[in-house]
C-alpha cells in the first residue's frame, strides 16, 4: 500500500511527461522585417531548417520591395525619370502586375502609387503631420496607377509623370506570407503558425498532446487567432477565429496613425482624396486561402466601407480568383 502511495504520483508524472513528449518539437524565430515584427513557428523535426529558410526568403523579399531602401528594386522605379522603361526583377514585375490589375478592379479605392502621399503625411515617422491643402493637391498630381505602364515581355515599368512612386505596403506582407507557407510545406513541415505584424498564416493545425489526441481522437486542433480590439492595448482580442489552414489578414485604422488637434489620422488612404479613408470602419479582416489577395482586399474593403463592399467584391471577382471559402468580418 505504501509503495503504491509513492508509485502513484510517479506514474502520473511519467504519464504526463510521455504525453507531452509526444507533441512534435517546436521551433520559433522572430525578426523585424518589412517594417514589422515577424514571428514564424514551425512544429516537427524539419522545423528549424525550414524556419531559417523562410527568414532567408523574407529578407530577400524585404530587400527587393522596401520602398524606403535605396538599393531595392522598387527604388529603381521610384527614382527613375519619366517615360523611361525601368527593367526589374521578374518576381518584382509579377507582383507589381498583380497589384496593378487589382488597382484597376478596385479603381479609386486601391492604388499602388500612393508613396508620395504616404511620405507627405509622414505616417510612421516622427514628422507625421497634416499637410496643407495645396501640398496635398500638388502631391495628388503624381498619384494614380494609370500613370504607369507595364511591359510583361521585357519586365519593365514606365512612369508617365515625374514624381510617381510605388508603394506596395498593402501587398507585400500577403505575398510574403504565401511564400513562407509554400517554403514550409516544401520543407516537409506539417504544422506552422506565422505572424507578420498582425497578419496571420497557419497550416496543418496546432499539434495536440498525447492525452488530448486520445480524448479527442484528433492529432491537431485549429489554431485560435484573436482579432485586435481597435482601441485596446495590442493583443486584446475583440473576437477569435479558428483556422487550420490559410490566412487571416486585417487592415485597421489603429495599426499606424498619429493624432493632431484631437483627430486621428491613420495610414490607409482614400486615393480619391489623398486623406485617410473615412469609411466608418475600424478594421476589416479577411480569412482566405490566398495571402496576397487577402492583403489587397482587406485594404480596399476598408476604404470602400460597409455599403460599398459588395460592389467592390463583385468588381474584384471579375479579375481575380476569389475562393468561395473566403470569409469577411469587420469592426465598425
Q: Which parts of this chain interact with ligand AMP (CB under 6 A)? A: 110-111, 114, 118, 167, 169-170, 251, 255-256, 267-269, 271, 295, 298-299, 303
Grid coordinates given for 229? 480590439
User: Which DSSP symbol is given to 203?
Assistant: E
Among Mg ion, ligand AMP, none, what does residue 62 contact (CB within 5–8 Å per kind)?
A: none
User: In the complex with ligand AMP, which residue's Cβ is closer, 220 or 285?
Assistant: 285
User: In the complex with ligand AMP, which residue's Cβ is closer, 227 or 303?
Assistant: 303
Paired residues of 248 in beta bridges: 200, 287
Among Mg ion, ligand AMP, none, what does residue 167 contact (CB within 5–8 Å per kind)?
A: ligand AMP
Cα–Cα dist 270/171, whole Å: 16
Q: Is 299 in the site for Mg ion (CB under 5 A)?
A: yes
User: In the complex with ligand AMP, which residue's Cβ is closer, 47 or 274?
Assistant: 274
User: Which DSSP symbol is given to 44?
Assistant: S
Smallest separation, CB 285 to ligand AMP (Å): 11
Cα–Cα dist 261/319, whole Å: 41
- Number of residues binding to Mg ion, judged by CB under 5 A: 4
Grid coordinates given for 310? 459588395
Cα–Cα dist 155/93, whole Å: 6
Cα–Cα dist 209/190, whole Å: 16
Q: Is 295 in the site for Mg ion (CB under 5 A)?
A: yes
User: Which DSSP symbol is given to 183?
Assistant: H
Smallest separation, CB 276 to ligand AMP (Å): 9
Cα–Cα dist 80/163, whole Å: 9
User: In the complex with ligand AMP, which residue's Cβ is closer, 207 or 276?
Assistant: 276
Residue 133, Cβ density class (10 Å: 0-12 exposed, 13-18 middle, ≥19 buried): exposed
User: In the complex with Mg ion, which residue's Cβ is closer, 104 or 129?
Assistant: 104
Contact code string over 158-177 relative to Mg ion, x by CB under 5 A: ------------x-------
User: In the complex with ligand AMP, which residue's Cβ is closer, 170 or 206?
Assistant: 170
Smallest separation, CB 266 to Mg ion (Å): 13
Q: Are strands 148-151 and 283-288 parallel, antiparallel or unpaired?
A: unpaired
Residue 310, Cβ density class (10 Å: 0-12 exposed, 13-18 middle, ≥19 buried): exposed
Q: In what order do the strands lie in the sheet with 156-159?
A: 86-87, 156-159, 148-151
CA dihedral of 295, 300, 303, 307, whole degrees rounded to 10: -120
Q: How many CA atoms lie within 13 A of 151 on its CB side?
A: 13
User: In the complex with ligand AMP, which residue's Cβ is closer, 121 or 193?
Assistant: 121
Among Mg ion, ligand AMP, none, what does residue 110 contact (CB within 5–8 Å per kind)?
A: ligand AMP
Among ligand AMP, Mg ion, none, what does residue 164 contact (CB within 5–8 Å per kind)?
A: none
Smallest separation, CB 154 to Mg ion (Å): 29
Smallest separation, CB 187 to ligand AMP (Å): 27
Among Mg ion, ligand AMP, none, what does residue 276 contact (CB within 5–8 Å per kind)?
A: none
Determine the length of the chain. 332
Among Mg ion, ligand AMP, none, what does residue 195 contact (CB within 5–8 Å per kind)?
A: none
User: In the complex with Mg ion, which residue's Cβ is closer, 44 or 174?
Assistant: 174
Q: CB of 9 within 8 A of CB of 16?
A: no
Smallest separation, CB 42 to ligand AMP (Å): 24
Smallest separation, CB 74 to ligand AMP (Å): 12
Which residues would be at the binding site for Mg ion (CB under 5 A)?
Answer: 170, 295, 298-299
Amino acid at each position: 500500500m505504501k509503495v503504491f502511495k509513492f508509485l502513484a504520483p510517479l506514474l502520473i508524472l511519467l504519464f504526463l511527461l510521455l504525453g507531452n513528449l509526444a507533441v512534435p518539437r517546436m521551433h520559433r524565430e522572430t525578426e523585424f522585417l518589412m517594417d514589422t515584427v515577424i514571428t514564424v513557428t514551425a512544429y516537427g523535426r524539419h522545423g528549424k531548417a525550414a524556419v531559417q529558410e523562410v527568414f532567408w526568403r523574407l529578407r530577400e523579399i524585404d530587400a527587393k520591395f522596401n520602398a524606403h531602401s535605396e538599393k531595392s528594386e522598387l527604388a529603381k522605379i521610384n527614382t527613375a525619370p519619366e517615360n523611361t522603361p525601368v527593367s526589374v526583377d521578374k518576381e518584382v514585375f509579377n507582383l507589381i502586375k498583380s497589384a496593378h490589375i487589382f488597382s484597376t478592379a478596385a479603381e479609386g479605392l486601391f492604388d499602388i502609387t500612393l508613396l508620395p502621399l504616404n511620405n507627405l503625411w509622414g505616417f510612421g515617422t516622427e514628422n507625421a503631420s497634416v499637410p496643407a491643402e495645396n501640398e496635398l493637391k500638388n502631391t495628388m498630381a503624381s498619384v494614380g496607377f494609370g500613370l504607369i505602364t507595364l511591359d510583361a515581355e521585357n519586365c519593365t515599368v514606365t512612369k508617365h509623370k515625374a514624381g510617381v512612386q510605388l508603394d506596395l505596403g498593402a501587398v507585400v506582407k500577403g505575398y510574403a506570407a504565401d511564400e513562407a507557407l509554400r517554403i514550409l510545406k516544401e520543407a516537409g513541415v506539417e504544422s506552422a503558425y506565422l505572424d507578420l505584424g498582425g497578419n496571420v498564416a497557419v497550416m496543418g493545425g496546432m499539434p495536440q498532446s498525447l492525452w488530448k489526441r486520445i480524448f479527442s481522437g484528433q492529432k491537431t486542433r485549429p489554431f485560435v487567432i484573436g482579432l485586435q480590439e481597435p482601441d485596446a492595448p495590442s493583443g486584446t482580442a475583440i473576437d477569435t477565429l479558428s483556422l487550420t489552414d490559410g490566412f487571416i489578414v486585417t487592415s485597421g485604422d489603429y495599426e499606424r496613425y498619429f493624432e493632431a488637434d484631437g483627430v486621428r489620422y491613420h495610414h490607409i488612404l482614400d486615393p480619391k482624396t489623398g486623406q485617410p479613408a473615412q469609411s466608418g470602419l475600424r478594421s476589416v479582416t479577411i480569412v482566405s486561402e490566398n495571402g496576397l489577395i487577402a492583403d489587397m482586399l482587406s485594404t480596399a474593403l476598408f476604404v470602400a466601407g460597409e455599403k460599398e463592399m459588395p460592389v467592390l467584391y463583385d468588381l474584384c471577382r471579375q479579375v481575380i480568383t476569389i475562393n468561395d471559402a473566403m470569409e469577411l468580418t469587420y469592426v465598425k
